[in-house]
Structure 1
Amino acid sequence: MAKITSRKSTVFFNLVSILFFVLMVYMVESRVVGTVPQPGLVCNEVVAVKSGDTCFAIAQQFDLTVEAFRFINPNLNCKALFIGQWLCIAGQST
């Protein structure tokens, strides 16, 4: 009985080891070979939020559409602007 249990344990250990090795190779290959540079955004000009400013007002002030303003400020919460916050008013994709 001890030989059967030992043999099952050995087979299980070998399977786990092979799966671990395959997973490691996959992870290394995907980092080295599969890395593609992600497009980013370069901000060329910024403005500081003043008291009473809104996203719409700032976009109008710098002749931007609301869509363009949101594109160059992707994580901006327009309902939570604060005085002194820097907003991008001119930018480009990389």
Structure 2
Amino acid sequence: MAHQTNNAFFFKLALVLSLVLMMSIAESVNLRAVGFKKQDAADAVCNSVHGTESDETCSSVAQEFNLSLDEFLAINPNINCDSVFVGQRLCVDGSA
């Protein structure tokens, strides 16, 4: 009986791992099919940073340094604009 239970466990484990692998491959293929390229932090080059102050947002920092919001987000690829904190270092001059 223990042998059958062991086989069932490994079968279920293999099934779950196969499903996860298929989902991962499908997501990768779908993103490439529509020409989507994930922004990689290694793609961005930063020449100058700004430490955020109280009440600053992504938009206000971008405006302060004469950047469009798209330019700002391109040189700060990993930023979460919903949770900018005081003292956070943001790139304000660079290229992506």
TM-score bin, normalised by smaller chain: 0.5 to 0.7
Q: Given the alignment, which residue of 62, 69, 74 partners 2:77?
A: 74
Q: Given the alignment, which residue of 60, 64, 68 partners 1:65?
A: 68
The correspondence of residues 78-89 of structure 1 with structure 2, limited to 5 A, is 78-89=81-92
Q: Could you report, residue by residue, the CA deviation over 1:12-66 in whole angstroms, capped at 9, with x for unpaired residues?
A: xxxxxxxxxxxxxxxxxxxxxxxxxx86221000000100001100000000000
Give the partner amino acid of 1:51: S
CA RMSD in angstroms comes to 1.6
- Identity over the aligned pairs, expressed in percent? 43
Give the partner amino acid of 1:67: D
How many residues are treated as equivalent by the alignment? Answer: 56
Structure 1 residue 77: deviation in Å?
0.3
Q: Aligned residue for 2:47?
A: 44
Gaps of 5+ in 2: 1-39
Cα distance between partner residues in 2 of 1:46 and 1:62: 11
Q: Which structure 1 residue ranges, 4+ long, deviate > 6 Å from structure 2?
A: none
Q: Which has the larger radius of gyration?
A: 1
Q: For CA contacts below 8 A with separation 6 or more, give which structure has more relative contact order.
A: 1
TM-score by length of 2: 0.55
TM-score by length of 1: 0.56
Cα distance between partner residues in 1 of 2:73 and 2:45: 14
